[in-house]
Amino acid sequence: MYNHKVVEKKWQDYWEKNQTFKTSTDSKKKNYYVLDMFPFPSGKGLHVGHPEGYTATDIVARMKRSQGYNVLHPMGWDAFGLPTEQYALQTGQDPAVVTKENIANFKRQLNKLGFSYDWNRELATCDPKYYKWTQWTFEQMYKNGLAYEAEAPVNWSPDLGTVVANEDIVDGKTERGGYPIYRRNMKQWMLRITKYADRLLAGLDNLDWPENIKEMQRNWIGRSVGAQITFKVKDSTETFDVFSTRPDTLFGATYAVLAPENKLVPKIMTAGHKNEVNAYIKQIESKSDLERTDLNKTKTGVFTGAYAINPVNNEEIPIWIADYVLASYGTGAVMAVPAHDTRDYEFARKFNLPIKAVIKGGDIAQEAYTGEGPHINSDFLNGLNIEDAKKKIVAWLEEHHAGEQKVNYKLRDWEFSRQRYWGEPIPVIHWEDGETTLVPEDELPLVLPHATDIKPSGTPESPLVNLKDWVNVVDKNGRKGKRETNTMPNWAGSSWYFLRFVDPHNDNKLADYELLQKWMPVDLYIGGAEHAVRHLLYARFWNMVLYDLGVVPNEEPFQRLYNQGLILKDHDKMSKSKGNVVNPDDVIDEYGADSLRMYEMFMGPLDASIDWDDNGPASTKKFLDRVWRLFVNDLDLKSIPQENIVDENDGTLDKIYNETVKKVTEDFDDLHFNTAISQLMVFINAAQKAKTIPKEYAEGFITLLAPIAPHMMEEIWQIFGHEESVTFAKWPSYDPAKLVETTVEIMVQVNGKLRGNFKAAKDMAQEEVKKQALSLPHVQKFLSGKEIKKVIVVPNKIVNIVAK
Ligand code: ANZ
């Protein structure tokens, strides 16, 4: 009987003692870097969703080692961040202590799953040795104008006591905790990711990533080409610009709308409309951008009392404010063309504003017409299609200094300040004379000071302000200064950890350039689709900045990306609050890690979201127990000398074995683990029928199954008499000649009617085929009394007999 508890522990100890998975750096071998999205070590430990992606990368890592690659397969901890801090606060603990405990628990769980990580390279983003380089990169960004301070409208969460990035808002609430957010202006550190917008877009084209993730990134970057057009305010010296992707519809602009936050509003609103305007501004303060731009919501807005002059025809159009125009996009102002824009149409309908068609087509009595058509009511644009009209109006605007072609992005600069304790200190000092300086590079890391009171202050200041000894500094000339008290978001540390794994103990550099050249870019990166935008965009940006600094050799960090699906419980996401979490510890106890790994890979395609089946691990355990009985009890392979093996299967086992090697190898490369497992099962069925099987096949099979069920395969490998770990077993190869069908079924027709069939060796001689066809009793019946005129043989398929 196979005892998973004993055997799994035995091999986990063996691997650790022998450093089996230490990254080899043999210069004669090719390198392969396979990476998991490192986890946030929460207090909840792993649930069965985690091992899905981790098992997938582990299988690939183990196969690549067997195939003779140097494999880099590291693991670490995304260890700063809000949830730990919240938890520490609620339980009165130190987040550093909580984090350490959580990491220990995660690591224990990962090891119980038998993952082949090189723990020599373990890292945690909250380790000063690590964040020294996070801070160093921030300083390089600052020196290159990529990090700056700005008063910006930000998403303030009073419940979390911090600002959250646009990317961290889901359905208008904070992703963590689902708290409401409020827009307010605040001085923030920002990273100029917008400078990289075009490169972040262009780079996507050459990456082997799921198309939907690329599309989400493209949409998030949101490049649109249009024009910026200047409108004068009537009876005033003020002007404002609008951004429009449809400057060709300028003759159809019947009103203009400013974002309520637009600085022009207080300057141009007339006395009669002041109260109404201010009341409206107050009312929309707490709405998120997402709520404001929701297409389904009824439009709201108020008239400012002011008018603008349309530059193309000098028409006076009313200026409104409305929340569907965002302060943070384009210029925070639009020219409204209700005839051809859906949102403007609804707004115009609601407030009885004129609707003027400038494109022929549709029925604007019913809805906005957004399609193609010749221009009408548009003077010199009449008759032109959209593309030509755009060119013409842009030329006209440029000529009349009333506007210009303009490219706009939805992407905003990255809000980089968090008003919280548990993060990397931003290495900056604000001096009393107004100067801002960086902490000198040789003083990095700027260590996060120990604090006992980490409650958010409720103001834009972080709890670090209370640590007066740390905050207050004096330079050698007696000038007084204060340290920046905001910390970095936890996206900072996770934006470059893949680089540090390459050279994790380097105290002089972020990582050695030559080593980076050897390992980067990551060959395969697997993680959850929830990181589609944020982490992957930030990491690409961070890497590009380092590339421009000459610190890293590749512009793109992740060549191939794959997202695993979710493991659901009764069609629902597993979560502690729903009480439907399956703990891998329990499953491993009962069925073993190998069974759990195999079940998670057998559930379905890796990218599908599938319901957890409590009976699943039991069924894969049953299969593994069969493998054990077959190789350890039934087939005494060790005692059979190789040359005495007779294949008693007429070549069937030969063919199935070679097919199995081919399919499993290709499926592992394609991450199609469920079909690979099916094929392994086909082999076991065939092997069970055989009286004996060649040792080569037995060992090949064990090597193929080892990446999925490493503990049991190590044990069998040892029983087979090997002294080295199965990790280093040579990956089996297959003989393409053996894949070919050896027998074929041949149909026999007499005068065009099917009268019989028989099995024959493939490519049998034509004369022999004819002979066998003619000798079939059923065929002879139809030939009796007739003369055979002709026999046509279609090789390996049909024998056609013409008789009269
Ligand atoms: C006039 C117009 C006529 C527009 C028409 C569209 C169709 P994307 O593709 O997203 O870039 N817009 C500009 N700034 C805005 C803001 N701050 N808040 C809300 N809407 C804004 O869309 C650009 C279009 O969205 C712009 O083109 C503008 O409306 C609107 F038949 O201008 B358009």
The predicted structure's pLDDT at residue 651? 66
Question: Average pLDDT for residues 269-284, to the nearest whole number?
Answer: 95
For the chain, report the end-to-end CA distance as a whole number of angstroms.
Answer: 69
Run of H or E residues at 201: helix 197-204
Best residue for ligand 1 mutational test, from 219, 231, 246 (most atoms within 8 Å of Cβ) = 246
255 alpha carbon – ligand 1 mean position (Å): 13
Kindly indicate the confidence band of residue 637, based on its pLDDT and cuts at 50, 70 and 90: low
Nearest ligand 1 atom, CA 332 = 17
Kindly indicate the confidence band of residue 717, based on its pLDDT and cuts at 50, 70 and 90: very high
Check residue 468 and report its DSSP letter. Answer: H
Superfamily the domain 20-131+492-578 falls into: HUPs (3.40.50.620)
333 alpha carbon – ligand 1 mean position (Å): 9
Nearest ligand 1 atom, CA 324 = 19
DSSP 321-385: EETTS-TTSTTSEEEE-TTT-HHHHHHHHHHT------B--S-TTTS---S---B-S-GGGTT--
Task: Show Cβ contacts of residue 760 under 8 Å, excluding neighbours closer than 6 positions.
Answer: 743, 744, 746, 768, 769, 772
Residue 712: other Cβ atoms inside 10 A: 28
The predicted structure's pLDDT at residue 646? 47
Nearest CA to ligand 1 atom 20: 325
343 alpha carbon – ligand 1 mean position (Å): 9
Return the closest-CA partner of residue 598 out of 77, 1, 4. 4
244 alpha carbon – ligand 1 mean position (Å): 5
Nearest ligand 1 atom, CA 328 = 17
217 alpha carbon – ligand 1 mean position (Å): 20
289 alpha carbon – ligand 1 mean position (Å): 15
List residues forming the annotated binding site.
576
* Ligand 1 pocket residues where CB is under 6 Å: 224, 243-246, 249, 259, 325-326, 329-330, 332, 334-335, 337, 340-341, 408
Summarised one tens digit per residue, pLDDT across range 410-424 is 999 999 999 889 999
Q: What span, in angstroms and rounded, lies between the C-alpha atoms of 11 and 64?
A: 20
Best residue for ligand 1 mutational test, from 243, 377, 407 (most atoms within 8 Å of Cβ) = 243
Kindly indicate the confidence band of residue 642, based on its pLDDT and cuts at 50, 70 and 90: very low
The predicted structure's pLDDT at residue 288? 67
Kindly indicate the confidence band of residue 442, based on its pLDDT and cuts at 50, 70 and 90: very high
310 alpha carbon – ligand 1 mean position (Å): 16
Nearest CA to ligand 1 atom 7: 341
Kindly indicate the confidence band of residue 645, based on its pLDDT and cuts at 50, 70 and 90: very low
Q: What span, in angstroms and rounded, lies between the C-alpha atoms of 281 and 410?
A: 23
Nearest ligand 1 atom, CA 337 = 3
Run of H or E residues at 185: strand 182-191
Kindly indicate the confidence band of residue 650, based on its pLDDT and cuts at 50, 70 and 90: low
Check residue 441 and report its DSSP letter. Answer: G
Dihedral of alpha carbons 156, 157, 162, 164, sign: negative
More confidently predicted of 67 and 652: 67
243 alpha carbon – ligand 1 mean position (Å): 7
Most confident range, picked from 445-454, 514-523, 769-778: 514-523
Q: Which CATH number fits domain 614-738: 1.10.3720.10, 1.10.730.10, 3.30.930.10, 3.40.50.620?
A: 1.10.730.10
556 is written with which tokens?
A: 């793109």
The predicted structure's pLDDT at residue 664? 98
pTM of the model: 0.86
CATH class of 741-803: alpha beta
Summarised one tens digit per residue, pLDDT across range 664-712 is 999 999 999 999 999 999 999 988 887 678 888 999 999 999 999 999 9
Best residue for ligand 1 mutational test, from 240, 257, 310, 334 (most atoms within 8 Å of Cβ) = 334
Q: Where in the chain is the domain with CATH 3.40.50.620?
A: 20-131+492-578
- Residue 35 has, within 13 A of its CA and on its CB side, a CA count of 27
Nearest CA to ligand 1 atom 1: 244
Residue 643 clears pLDDT 90, i.e. is over it: no
Nearest CA to ligand 1 atom 32: 244
Q: What is the average pLDDT value for the chain, to the nearest integer? A: 92
Alpha-helical runs (H) found in 635-693: 652-670, 673-689
Best residue for ligand 1 mutational test, from 329, 344, 364 (most atoms within 8 Å of Cβ) = 329
Question: Average pLDDT for residues 9-13, to the nearest whole number?
Answer: 98
Nearest CA to ligand 1 atom 10: 224
Q: Where in the chain is the domain with CATH 3.10.20.590?
A: 741-803
List residues forming the annotated binding site for ATP.
576
Query: Which segment of 30-34, 321-325, 328-332 scores lowest on mean pLDDT?
Result: 328-332
The CA radius of gyration of the chain, in Å to the nearest whole number, is 35
Nearest CA to ligand 1 atom 26: 244
The predicted structure's pLDDT at residue 82? 84
406 alpha carbon – ligand 1 mean position (Å): 13
Identify whether the C-beta of residue 172 lies closer than 8 Å to the C-beta of residue 188.
Answer: no
Summarised one tens digit per residue, pLDDT across range 82-113 is 888 888 888 889 999 999 999 999 999 999 99
Kindly indicate the confidence band of residue 376, based on its pLDDT and cuts at 50, 70 and 90: very high
Most confident range, picked from 250-259, 291-300, 756-765: 250-259
Nearest ligand 1 atom, CA 336 = 1
Best residue for ligand 1 mutational test, from 341, 408, 410 (most atoms within 8 Å of Cβ) = 341
368 alpha carbon – ligand 1 mean position (Å): 14
340 alpha carbon – ligand 1 mean position (Å): 11
Q: Where in the chain is the domain with CATH 3.90.740.10?
A: 223-409
Nearest CA to ligand 1 atom 33: 244
The predicted structure's pLDDT at residue 474? 97
Summarised one tens digit per residue, pLDDT across range 729-751 is 999 999 988 887 777 889 999 99
Question: What's the complex ipTM?
Answer: 0.93
Kindly indicate the confidence band of residue 308, based on its pLDDT and cuts at 50, 70 and 90: very high
CATH of region 223-409: 3.90.740.10
Share of the chain above pLDDT 90, in %: 76
